[in-house]
Amino acid sequence: MNQPFRTEDSGRIDRSRPLKFTFNGKTLQGFSGDTLASALLANGIRVVSRSFKFHRPRGVLSAGAEEPNALVAVDIGNGMLPIVRATQMPLIGGLRAESQNCFPTVGFDLLRILDYTRALWPAGFYNKTFKWPNWHAFEWAVRRTAGLGRLPSGTDVTRYCHMNAHCDVLVVGTGSAGLKAALNAARAGEDVLIVEQDRVAGGTLLYDRAAIDGTAPDVWLEDTMSELNARDNVRVMLSATAAGYYDHNVLTIHDRSSAYRRENPVEIFWKVRASRVVLATGTIEQPLVFGNNDLPGIMLASAMHQYANRYGVLCGRRVVGVVNNDLAWHSLFGLLDAGTDVSSIIDSRPSVDDQLVKLAHDRGIEVNFGATPVRAGGSGTVKGLVYLDANGRTENIACDAIAMSGGMSPVMHLYSQAGGKLRYDAELACFLPQACRQPVSVAGSANGEFAVTCTYNIGSRKRSPAKTSTQWIDFLHDVTASDVELAVRENYHSVEHLKRYTTVGMAVDQGKTSNLNALTLLGELTGRTPGETGTTTFRPMYTPVTMGAIAGNRQGDFYQPAKRLPAHDWHAEMDAEFEDYGGWDRPAYYGHDREASIANESLIVREAVGLFDGSPLGKIEVKGPDAAEFLNRIYVNTVPSLKPGKIRYGLMLTENGIVMDDGVFVRLADEHFLINTTSGHADSIVSWLEEWHQCEWPNLDLVVLPVTSQWAVATVAGPKARDVLQALPGMVDLSTECLPHMSIASGAFADGTQYRIQRVSFTGELSYELNVPADHASEIFDRIWKIGQVHGIGLFGVESLMVLRLEKGFLHVGVDTDGTSNPIDIGFGKIVANKKGDFVGARSLMRAEDQRTDRRQLIGFELDVRGDTVLPGAHIVTGSGADRRTEGFVTSACNSPTLGKTIGLGLLESGYERKGKTITLYDDGRIVSARVVDACFYDPSGERMRG
C-alpha cells in the first residue's frame, strides 16, 4: 500500500513487516516500529482530532508524551480506549483508531460552530452567564459537549498487577545523559534500574545524528546498551513511564511493556524504592505563539526531525522553519538531510552565528533574521506563512508544513514532585532544577545542558502582531493569548489564578506545551519575568495512568479479602447462608428462608439445644506478674478480685469515656488471663493493650498474646447443652457444682486434643463455649452435631444469636451504643462508682456533662400493638411536623419468636426515668407507639443460664 510521505529507506522501522490498521474506518498501512502518529503522517493524514472546546481541526504536533492534539480512541482488542496519545501508541497490526470529539466526522464537525462564535465563549464565560433560572438548566448541554472520549464498553480483558523494586540508582530516561549516568553507576557496582517511557532506549539518539564523544550515535547507543544489558546489576524497563515521584524516594512506574498484545495483556504498576535517582528526562520543545499556530501541518521542529530520521516519515513537501534558537536550526538541517525540502528559516533573532548561516546556505535554505511570524495561512491544513521581516515588511511564503521551535523546556515534572525547587534561567529562557531535599540529581538537557552537540542561543520570544484571539497557547484546552490578556485585565494576575480561570495547563497533558508560553505572556503583560510569576505545581501523574493498573489485583475477592472460619466448608455443607460480619464470612442463618430460619433457630435454642460457631470471638492472653493490675486499669470492672478459673464480664472505654468494647475476661491462673473481645475488635484491642502497656505503663511486667485464630469456638446453648457436651469422651464434669456459670475448665479429649470450656451465655440459656485448636474445628462441629441429634440439636447463625441476646437484653457494643455512649448511659453507673483506682476513661466520666441524667440512656421497649413491627434505625420522637424532634433511636429490634411480640433496645434521652412511659417511634414517615420497659425481656432472674 502506498504511504506517500514515507522515505525510501531511512528510519528505525522494520519495512519487512508491514502492518494494516484503520483510521476512521479507512484501512491504512504502516510498519513495525511505527507509532500510530508516524503511520498516520506517513499516510498523509493531517487532521486527526478536534479540539476540546471549539472543535478546531488539529494534527500531530509532537512525537512524544507532550502531545496535546493527536489524542484518539484506539481498539487493540480491549474495547475502544479513549484519549490515547497517537505519538506514544505503538502501531499494532489490526489496530482500529478513531478521532474523538467530532460529529459527524473529523473532517466536518458540526460543533465547529463554537469556533466560529468563539468571541462569545472567552475564558470563564460560564462564570458570567447561565445563572438564570439556574445552572441546572444549562448544565446538561455543557456536560454533553465536554469530555474528550467515551467510556469503553465490554469487559476489561487486561490483567493488572503491582510489583515492587529496590535499587541503588534509578535512572529515568535513556538519552545519552541517562545512559552515561547508568553506565557510571553500574561500573561502580551499584544496583541500577533504568526506566524509559519509549519502547526503545535512546531518546534523541534515535534520530539526532550528532556524534557522542566522537562516536556515531547509533554505534554509541548499541555499544552502551549491550554493556548495560550484559551486566547483572542493571535492569532496563522499556515502555515504562515514571509517573509519580513521592516522599522518601519512592517512585511509581506505569509499565506497559506487555500491554499492547492481543493475548493476555498485562499492565504493571511498580513501586520503586531508590537510594538515589537520576532524572535524565530531557526537554520538551515549546511551540511559538502566532496566528493560527494550531493548524494541522504545524509541528515542533524536533518532532519533524524525529519523524524523518526515526520513522522515515516526511511531515511535508515544503517546510518552513519558524524558530528562535540554534538547536532548531540543527533539527531543520537534519530534516533537510533526510530528504525534506526546507525552503526557509524565519528566525526572530536579529542575527545568528555565521557558521550556522553558512550551513544553511550550503543546503540552499533561505534565512530571515529579525523576522516575526504573523499567522499561518490555510483553513483545513497549513498552506503558507505570513511574517514580518526585519524591516517590518509583510512577507508571505507558501508551504505545506511549518517546523516551529520556541525553545526547550526541561522536563521538571518529577523533580518538582520530589519537592525540588526550580529557578528561572533567563539566558536559557526556561526553568531549571535548583535544590531538592531528596537524593535526586538531574542530568543532561533536563539540567539545561543543551549545548552538548551544538549551541543553543535562544532569543527572546517576540509577540506576534496577529489578533491574539487567533494565537493558541493551550492546544488541548483551546486557550488563546487573548484569554490570557482577559485574565490579566480582570486581575487574575497570579499564575495559579490564570490557570484556573483560563484552564491553561489543566488538561490531560498538564500543560507540557502550554505552561511556559502562558506564564511568559503573563509576565510580559504584568511586567514580571517568568521567574517572578513562577510555575504552577507539577502533580503526579506525569502522563495519565490506567486506573486498573493503580488498583492492581485489589478487586473482587481480593478487595479487602474476607476472613473465613476454620469450619467454613462444614457450615457450607450444612446450608449456611454467609454474610460479612466485621470482615468475617459467617453463617447468618441456615437454610434459605431468612425470617423462618431465624425464628426456628431461636426456638430450638430456647427449647432444646443449638450449635453456633463463635470462632471469630476475639481471644487475647495476658500473662505476667502484673497482668491483673494492668487489666484493672483497662477495664471499668474490677479485675484483681477474680479467682482463677472464674470469668467476669468487662467493659472497656476510650480515654474520653466512650464505650469501646465488651466481653468476658477469664483468670486462667494467678498471672494468666484470657480476655474475649467482640469479633470486629479482635485486632484493634490487641493494639490498644500494646499501646497502653508499651507507651504508658512499660514498667508493668506482662505480655499480650493474640490467640483469636488459634482456637475455634463451638458454642452449645440451650437446656440440653450439658447433655450434648457431656457425651463427648474426655469431657470434664459439666455439672453446676464442678463448672458453675462464669467459670472455665480445661481438659483433653480421648485423642489427646486439648480444649478449654467456658461456661458463659450470650443467649440467656445454659451455654458453653468449647475452645479447640482451630485445625480441629470441622471435626468437633461434626461430632457435636452427631451426638446432639438425639437431643434435637439445631444450628444457629449470627442473626438468631442477635434475637436471643436481645430477648435477654444483652447489649451489643457498636449497635446498642454509639460514639457518644458512656458506661453510665448503658447501666454501668454503679460499677463505675464502685471501681477503686484509675482506669482508662475514668477521669472523663467525672465531667458534669458525663454525669447528666438527661443523656441518651439504654432502655428496653415493647410495641403497644401486637403485630406492629419496627426496624433498628427508627427514631424516638416528640412533636410532629416541623416541630418533630428526635429524642433517641432504636438500636435493636425484633419480633421475638419466644415472646410473640416486638421488642427492642434504644438510646433515649432521660431514658432511665421513663420506665413505663409511652414513646413514639418514627421510621421513614411511619409512626408506631411503644412502651419503655426493663431492658431484659426474658428470664430476668437468670435461672435458665445459671441452672
Partner 1 sequence: MKGYSVFSLVRNAFSGHRHWNPVWRTPKLRKSYDIVIIGAGGHGLATAYYLASKHGIRNIAVLDKGLIGGGNTGRNTQVTRSNYFWPQSAAFFDHSLKLYENLSRDLNFNVMLSQRGVLTLAHSHHELESLRQRANAIQINGVDSEVMTPAEIKKLVPLLNMSARHPVLGGFIQRRAGISRHDAVAWAYARAADAYGVDIIQQCEVEGFDINDGRIAGLQTTQGKISADKVSIAVAGHTSIMTAKAGFRVPVTSMALQAMVSEPIKPCLDTMVASSAIHMYASQSDRGEIVLGAGADVYTSYAQRGGIPLLEENVSALLELLPAFSRLKLNRQWAGIVDITPDTTPIMGKTPVKNLYISGGWGTGGYKAIPAGGDTMAYTIANDNAHPLIEDFGLERFEIGALIDEGSSSGVAH
Partner 2 sequence: MLRIPCLYCGVRDEVEFRYGNDAHVSRPSPAVSDAEWSDYLFNHTNPKGVHFERWCHVFGCGQWFNVARDTVTHEILAVYPMGNPAPDLEE
Nearer to partner 2, 358 or 554 (CB): 554
The residue among 236, 221, 173 whose CA lies nearest residue 12 is 221
Strand blocks (E) in 256-317: 266-279, 283-285, 298-300
**Bond from prior residue into 439 cis (ω within 30 degrees of 0):** no
Alpha helices in 391-542 (DSSP H): 413-417, 481-489, 495-502, 515-526, 530-533
Q: Which does 557 bind (CB under 5 to 8 A by kind): partner 2, partner 1, none?
A: partner 1
For residue 250, the minimal CB distance to partner 2 (Å) is 5
417, 246 Cβ separation under 8 angstroms: yes
What are all long-range contacts of 463-467, with beta carbons under 8 Å and residues at least 24 apart? Answer: 463/289, 463/372, 463/524, 464/288, 464/289, 464/290, 464/291, 464/372, 464/373, 464/374, 464/375, 465/372, 465/374, 465/388, 466/290, 466/291, 466/292, 466/374, 466/375, 467/291
Strand blocks (E) in 216-363: 234-237, 240-246, 250-255, 266-279, 283-285, 298-300, 318-323, 341-347
Q: Is 595 in the site for partner 1 (CB under 8 A)?
A: no
Nearer to partner 1, 271 or 318 (CB): 271
Nearer to partner 1, 147 or 837 (CB): 147
For residue 686, the minimal CB distance to partner 2 (Å) is 8
For residue 518, the minimal CB distance to partner 1 (Å) is 17
The residue among 792, 742, 746 whose CA lies nearest residue 767 is 742
**Bond from prior residue into 541 cis (ω within 30 degrees of 0):** yes
CA distances to 645, 741, 766, 793, 939 from 758, in Å: 9, 9, 11, 20, 21
Interface pick for partner 1 out of 82, 175, 406, 523 (rule CB under 8 A): 82
Three-class SS of 351-375: CCCHHHHHHHHHCCCEEECCCEEEE
Interface pick for partner 1 out of 370, 384, 531, 552 (rule CB under 8 A): 552
Nearer to partner 2, 274 or 479 (CB): 274
Nearer to partner 1, 34 or 850 (CB): 850
Nearer to partner 1, 247 or 366 (CB): 247
Interface pick for partner 1 out of 276, 875, 901, 946 (rule CB under 8 A): 875
Nearer to partner 2, 811 or 840 (CB): 840
Greatest extent of the chain over all pairs of C-alpha atoms, in Å: 116
Nearer to partner 1, 142 or 451 (CB): 142
What the block records as the C-alpha cell of 289 is 505563539
For residue 890, the minimal CB distance to partner 1 (Å) is 8
Q: Is 489 in the site for partner 1 (CB under 8 A)?
A: yes
Nearer to partner 2, 273 or 594 (CB): 273
For residue 541, the minimal CB distance to partner 1 (Å) is 6
Nearer to partner 1, 779 or 818 (CB): 818
**Bond from prior residue into 133 cis (ω within 30 degrees of 0):** yes
Which spans of this chain sit near partner 2 (rule: CB under 8 A)? Answer: 246-250, 271, 273, 419, 437, 655-656, 687, 690-691, 694-696, 698, 838, 842-844, 846-847
β-strand partners of 18: 31
525, 536 Cβ separation under 8 angstroms: no
Q: Which does 128 bind (CB under 5 to 8 A by kind): partner 2, partner 1, none?
A: partner 1
For residue 142, the minimal CB distance to partner 2 (Å) is 38
Q: Which does 828 bind (CB under 5 to 8 A by kind): partner 2, partner 1, none?
A: none
For residue 586, the minimal CB distance to partner 1 (Å) is 11
- Binding segment for partner 1 among 174-182, 684-692, 734-742, 842-850 (CB under 8 A)? 842-850
Q: Which does 820 bind (CB under 5 to 8 A by kind): partner 2, partner 1, none?
A: partner 1
User: What is the distance between the alpha carbons of residues 932 and 930, in angstroms, rounded to a whole number?
Assistant: 7
What the block records as the C-alpha cell of 203 is 531518546
For residue 480, the minimal CB distance to partner 1 (Å) is 11
Q: Which does 691 bind (CB under 5 to 8 A by kind): partner 2, partner 1, none?
A: partner 2
Q: Which does 747 bind (CB under 5 to 8 A by kind): partner 1, partner 2, none?
A: none
- Binding segment for partner 1 among 171-179, 206-214, 485-493, 750-758 (CB under 8 A)? 485-493
CA atoms within 13 A on the CB side of 666: 22
Nearer to partner 1, 31 or 269 (CB): 269
Q: Which residues contact 329 (CB under 8 A, 6 or more apart)?
A: 321, 323, 345, 347, 352, 356, 359, 360
What the block records as the C-alpha cell of 653 is 472505654
Identify residues 615-674 at the interface with partner 1 (CB under 8 A).
656-657
- Binding segment for partner 1 among 163-171, 552-560, 720-728, 780-788 (CB under 8 A)? 552-560
The residue among 59, 60, 44, 63 whose CA lies nearest residue 1 is 44
- Binding segment for partner 1 among 136-144, 305-313, 703-711, 931-939 (CB under 8 A)? 136-144
Q: Is 111 in the site for partner 1 (CB under 8 A)?
A: no
Q: Which does 655 bind (CB under 5 to 8 A by kind): partner 1, partner 2, none?
A: partner 2
What the block records as the C-alpha cell of 321 is 522553519
The residue among 838, 808, 815, 813 whose CA lies nearest residue 823 is 813
Identify residues 803-822 at the interface with partner 1 (CB under 8 A).
815, 818-820
